[in-house]
Structure 1
């Protein structure tokens, strides 16, 4: 019999921690999972799931308008924020219970209280009870970042609070240029809120392909979203029931709410990792090797707390690989390259592989194939919206290095394109694939003319 209380103690019941706990328990390990808030983590409780539901809700205004061109009438249409919040909460409750059932069905013990690390094999619970484990897995995720030095920072909300507002503001200022800021800008704008996006960089979505960034920015402006790049917040003040925002160039304006979406920081504060001697990265994430193991052999970490690739499917894959390796007797490393990614902006982005800039930095010859077109739906709706598709190809080997789409259902396309790109598909393989007509995705297999700069 082991001298430890558990074989595995997981701190954090988000997607990565739950997956690791379930798989380890199925291998016969004695597993406990501690969670101080709700089971499901950021993605399920206050992240991608409720956000996607909000995206759906925000699109209906345009759908009703577009329907007129197809012979429908759209009179007496209204929106009720409270109904959306209530129904969203019901779905989150359902998912929370499902996660609990899945953990318990796998044989893991769920402990609903805060847990912190006391040593390499010791965990302290909020109740004061100490437990020991052969392995400790840290899966505490990350939290929204608000700059504390900013005057009036306490008046700002983050994505956490955006899901629980008592009412919609008439105007909102969103600070940030990453995918969370972009997605919420589309959500609030679609729900009828006057939306201003403030970003200190030259263009939104740093790290994405430049053509996609420019295209999406143009489409967002068409929808009435005000983009203020090369700008930053200097201060925030209370003004009536809202706020007054002052920018670093002296410009000022009022808003019902100001929301920060300027990145997320690993949840390590007060976790006790220093007591165990766990090494951290310069950005205060848990430093781990290819097997998600820290410098302390008994302590592992997965998901956003490691600040590798902060996406839910990545955390799940890391948690599964950890359990397979440590408890399943397998040698499993997670490949963090070629990860398909979606941004649920409006219009949507789907991407896989290298951007054009990255490709030109690493390959001698790069061929670009791209097209921009009006989606078939809008030939009758009359909406001024265009889709952009782009293939980045190695000019020597003909291998597709990257694919980038901005348009309806781009995320769905990226998932399937991820398989082809990961398998090393060549442009000639795309060309030889029969098109499905009439679809937007058929453009990906009918692109023949290389794009030439300045043409």
Structure 2
């Protein structure tokens, strides 16, 4: 069996793997990337972030046309089939693959297409689609194999009416009614997308509220706007069994309810891709969800083997994965950062983003705070653009004015949040809500909401 030597071998070419490989190459290391699929990019590019967000963008454009008074004067509303919308949306995937392939070429990173399996802590085999095998030797490895949708054994995923968050991107018809089981981030995002297409959606949530990690006010707002868009949200419901036949889907709940629809989208958790990786050959193991334990340096229990991205669990975000991969491949410990301050970005319609603490966390920890709000309907830019839904909310310390948390719900929330995040990252003397009233913002902009929210909060304090 031929053997090739490297300084670093990365398993997986998603955000975490790509970032690790590029950072190592910039340090003049000899690097290889192993990708099990025929194209680079990982699930993020092909089945997750990129296609779903492109799909959301297309649906949002369609909603804008169907709901705008200007467009009503020139034509009737349009109901476009899901496959047509999907075909238009995923065209961006080809652009992403082309761009990322060039990254590897420009940095002299060898790309192997095949399935990796550890032989020992310095060697692994790559089995190609044609059955040929090559052995790679490396001083270090980074496991960045990502995750896949969790499949309970009693759910018939082999049936043509049952989908997960990967296979929904191959749906070839437009269901009249879609059942979504699991109201996490992915479930809520797809509920927004499909309801935006005029499809009836039943969203089944096993918890008390939607996305309980959000600030309560934002969670309630999301629930309201999903219902307003036609989504039937059912809380505290757990499935008992799923029946699928040629006529449709019947989801039996433990409460005794039976929810019927044309298709089922299962969005209830993900599992790390560690199966058949040969972890037992290097003394490693994964937990029940296929995730690998790492330290603050992203090292596994085998010192020369690192793990990053979805395969190590929370926060399971592409944004975090990029930073994790870069940290794992850094030779200088000063360049290593354990990623624990990631802003939340949820691409529902409207979208959500937050950073820092919530009202509930501050109250439970007996930390005094005050609140400043700006409603987008009261901003000139929101009125001009027709994006009046949503708000920006700043939580801050009443005595020091230090910013404790920022929460945004509405158009461009995932962009707006970074202004506040930048201020929160400053030293305590510079991290203050007064920055937003002492800085001139462009007018009219959505970012101006920071000034409005800051003034609203300061007006609540005595002496202002």
TM-score, structure 1 as length reference = 0.90
Task: State the distance in 1 between where 2:71 and 2:197 align.
Answer: 23
Question: Which moved further from structure 2: 432-441 or 14-23?
Answer: 432-441
Unaligned runs of 5+ in 1: none
Asked whether the 8 Å contact 2:396–2:405 carries over to 1, the reply is yes
Structure 1 residues 251 and 281: alpha-carbon distance in aligned structure 2, compared to 1, 3 A threshold:
closer
Structure 2 CA distance for aligned equivalents of residues 75 and 50 of structure 1: 28
**Residue 273 (structure 1) aligned with residue 279 (structure 2):** yes
CA distance in 1, matches of 2:385, 2:13: 45
Residues matched between the structures, number: 445
Match of 2:18 in 1: 18
Q: Is the 8 A contact 2:203 2:232 kept in 1?
A: yes
2:210 is the alignment partner of 1:207 = no
Contact map agreement 1:341 1:414 (CA 8 A) in 2: no
**Deviates most, 423-432 or 279-288:** 279-288
Residue in 2 that maps onto 1:36: 36
* Whole-Å separation in 2 of the counterparts to 1:264 and 1:332: 30
Task: Name the residue aligned to 1:408.
Answer: 411
Contact 2:392–2:450 (CA<8 Å) still a contact in 1? yes
SS of the aligned residue for 2:335 comes to: coil
* Deviation at residue 313 of structure 1 after TM alignment: 1.6
Gaps of at least 5 residues in structure 2 are: none
d(CA) in 2 for partners of 1:263 and 1:371? 34
Task: Tell me: CA distance 1:72–1:335, structure 2 relative to 1, closer, same or farther (3 Å).
Answer: farther
What is the correspondence of 1:132-143 to structure 2 with a 5 Å cutoff?
132-143=137-148
Instruction: Please give the residue correspondences for 1:295-314 in structure 2 after superposition, counting only pairs within 5 Å.
Output: 295-314=301-320
Greater mean alpha carbon deviation, residues 315-324 or residues 206-215: 315-324
1:60 maps to which residue? 61
Does residue 1:166 correspond to 2:172, yes or no? Answer: yes
Q: Is the 1:137–1:299 contact (alpha carbons within 8 Å) kept by the matching residues of 2?
A: yes
Note the aligned Cα RMSD (angstroms).
Answer: 2.5
Cα–Cα, structure 1 residues 55 and 39, in superposed 2: closer, same or farther, change >3 Å?
same
- Give the Å deviation of 1:378: 8.0
User: How far apart are the structure 2 equivalents of 1:275 and 1:388?
Assistant: 52
SS of residue paired to 1:162? helix
| 1:289 and 2:295 aligned | yes
Query: Would the aligned equivalents of 1:389 and 1:404 in 2 still touch at CA under 8 Å?
Result: yes
The equivalent of 1:365 in structure 2 is 368
**1:234–1:83 CA distance, 2 compared to 1 (3 A):** same
Contact 1:9–1:137 (8 Å) recurs in 2: yes
C-alpha distance in structure 2 between counterparts of 1:257 and 1:151, whole Å: 13
CA contact (8 A) 1:26 1:107 kept: no
Partner of 1:264: 270
User: Aligned equivalents of 2:112 and 2:329: distance in 1?
Assistant: 19
Q: Following the alignment from structure 1 to structure 2, what is the Cα–Cα distance between the partners of residues 138 and 254?
A: 41
C-alpha change, 1:89 and 1:348, in structure 2 (3 Å) is: closer
Q: 2:183 aligns with which of 173, 177, 187?
A: 177
> Post-superposition shift, 1:397?
2.4
Q: Contact 2:79 / 2:198 at 8 angstroms: preserved in 1? A: no
Give the equivalent residue in structure 2 for 1:145: 150
